[in-house]
């Protein structure tokens, strides 16, 4: 179901073809293997030592980490999902929702923000613009148009989606000249949302990196996202915060693994002598160079964080697994059901960016092995993040004339910062509490602090109704 990554020769972008996608499947003629060779090559099979498998799901909108500790004497096939597999939680910056009780999140937003020290100046610009714009204006979008990136978004370093003539064309395995993630100058995950919310900074001013996983994929569907990321990446390189575009993946994974290390140490499940193995989930169809970028980023992050005494060797124990296969394995384990050789399996993966449909044929039942797709996989750009975007646009339209919400002499805001705070609450909590199967046209109530009653607009005191 998963295999060791072999980087092979360097892949140049111009050499990539449509059939160069990575197929995370097992060929039928390779099912039989020498068990002694497997034990030698796979450290997890060595029951004479303590092992820890760490699996990373780097998603478009959210990322998560799961782990399984195998004590001395436990064989890999004896791992039980309910008893031995756990997820990392307690992410910094997560704020408990004001209404409703939710389980602590086991996923963190795939968001990264480089604080270059300009936060206060951005805030001052926002405050000054609000002082001079106390009247309602249909063309006031709350943005700060003084960003130095506006004039440079089409410079030499921004024409291509990922390499900016710098990263893909030179060896991807080359380590960045920029030091490992400077944790004092970066924020990630929930902490980005909380910090920008407290500063009342709209995303357009702060420029956090979101959906940057899609920057690894060329295609018409990702053009808009890559266009939004291009000037931000150019600015970060100009300021010396990154050396190449690939650094953002290394830095995000470094934050994620550092938090993982802290949680494992607190639960006394990470020891210096522990043998580590890493599993990285990737889309079922992903360009080979995208896999190489993520492989290098994870190797560097593991080395930077130093999860164990053998950190330099741990990066060699790195495997890829396709997201649909991982999902199928998890579902089968949770349901205590089995899939038999020769059966066909349809996997629907509803993610943040896309909803993917993949059809596999089972070639081995214990352990589950799925061969190449029975029919070509399909993917639609209708993931959960698009619900958030529509929600945000609707709020912008409804509140655009309620200038009293952000024209506050004490605490300067903008329309977009107000709406983005509401969207964050919707994404993290309110959407998860909604049961769309039972609503059947029911109005959705949104708490908006300071909102004045206007019955004709479905506005009530501190509350509005969404239909």
pLDDT tens column, 123-154: 454 444 444 443 433 444 433 333 333 333 33
DSSP secondary-structure letter at 103?
A: P
pLDDT tens column, 248-276: 999 999 999 999 999 999 999 888 788 88
pLDDT: is 454 or 18 the higher one?
454
> Confidence class of residue 245 from pLDDT cuts 50, 70 and 90?
very high
Residue of 338, 348, 343, 333 lying closest to 363 (CA atoms): 343
- The overall average pLDDT reported for the chain is 75
Residue of 140, 138, 71, 66 lying closest to 106 (CA atoms): 66
Predicted local confidence at residue 337, as pLDDT? 64
Residue 244: exposure state from Cβ atoms within 10 A (0-12, 13-18, ≥19): buried
> Confidence class of residue 91 from pLDDT cuts 50, 70 and 90?
very high
Domain edges within the chain: 1-326, 384-466
pLDDT tens column, 162-185: 333 333 333 344 555 555 544 448
Q: Measure the CA–CA gap between 355 and 362, rounded to whole angstroms.
A: 22
Phi first, then psi, for residue 324 (nearest 5°) are: -65, -40
Residue 116 has pLDDT above 70, yes or no: yes
Report the 10 Å Cβ neighbour count for 97.
Answer: 14
């Amino acid at each position: 179901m998963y295999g060791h990554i072999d980087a092979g020769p360097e892949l140049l972008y111009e050499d990539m073809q449509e059939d160069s996608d990575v197929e995370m499947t097992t060929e039928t003629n390779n099912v039989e293997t020498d068990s002694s060779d497997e034990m030698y090559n796979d450290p997890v099979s060595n029951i004479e030592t303590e092992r820890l498998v760490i699996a990373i799901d780097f998603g478009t909108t959210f990322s998560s980490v799961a782990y399984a500790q195998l004590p001395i004497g436990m064989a890999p096939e004896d791992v039980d999902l309910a008893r031995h597999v756990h997820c990392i939680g307690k992410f910094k910056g997560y704020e408990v929702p004001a209404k409703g009780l939710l389980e602590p999140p086991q996923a963190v937003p795939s968001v990264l923000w480089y604080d270059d020290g300009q936060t206060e100046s951005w805030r001052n610009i926002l405050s000054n613009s609000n002082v001079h714009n106390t009247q309602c204006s249909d063309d006031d979008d709350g943005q700060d148009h003084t960003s130095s990136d506006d004039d440079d978004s089409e410079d030499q370093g921004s024409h291509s989606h990922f390499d900016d003539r710098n990263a893909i064309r030179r060896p991807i395995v080359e380590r960045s000249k920029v030091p490992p993630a400077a944790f004092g100058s970066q924020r990630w995950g929930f902490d980005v949302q909380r910090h920008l919310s407290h500063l009342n900074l709209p995303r357009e001013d702060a420029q956090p990196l979101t959906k940057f996983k899609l920057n690894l994929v060329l295609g018409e569907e990702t053009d808009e996202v890559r266009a939004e990321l291009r000037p931000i990446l150019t600015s970060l390189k100009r300021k010396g915060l990154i050396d190449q575009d690939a650094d953002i993946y290394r830095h995000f994974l470094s934050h994620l693994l550092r938090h993982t290390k802290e949680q494992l140490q607190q639960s006394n499940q990470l020891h210096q002598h522990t043998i580590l193995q890493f599993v990285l989930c990737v889309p079922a169809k992903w360009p080979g160079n995208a896999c190489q970028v993520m492989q290098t980023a994870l190797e560097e992050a593991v080395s930077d964080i130093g999860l164990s005494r053998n950190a330099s060797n741990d990066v060699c124990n790195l495997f890829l697994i396709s997201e649909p296969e991982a999902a199928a394995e998890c579902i089968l384990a949770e349901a205590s059901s089995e899939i038999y050789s020769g059966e066909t399996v349809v996997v629907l993966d509803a993610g943040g960016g896309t909803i993917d449909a993949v059809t596999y044929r089972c070639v081995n039942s214990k352990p589950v092995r799925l061969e190449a797709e029975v029919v070509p996989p399909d993917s639609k750009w209708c993931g959960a993040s698009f619900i958030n975007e529509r929600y945000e646009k609707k709020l912008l339209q409804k509140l655009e004339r309620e200038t009293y919400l952000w024209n506050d002499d004490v605490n300067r805001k903008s329309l977009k910062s107000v709406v983005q705070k509401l969207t964050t609450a919707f994404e993290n909590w309110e959407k998860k509490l909604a049961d769309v199967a039972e609503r059947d046209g029911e109005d959705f109530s949104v708490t908006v602090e300071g909102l004045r009653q206007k019955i004709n607009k479905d506005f009530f005191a501190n509350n509005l109704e969404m239909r």
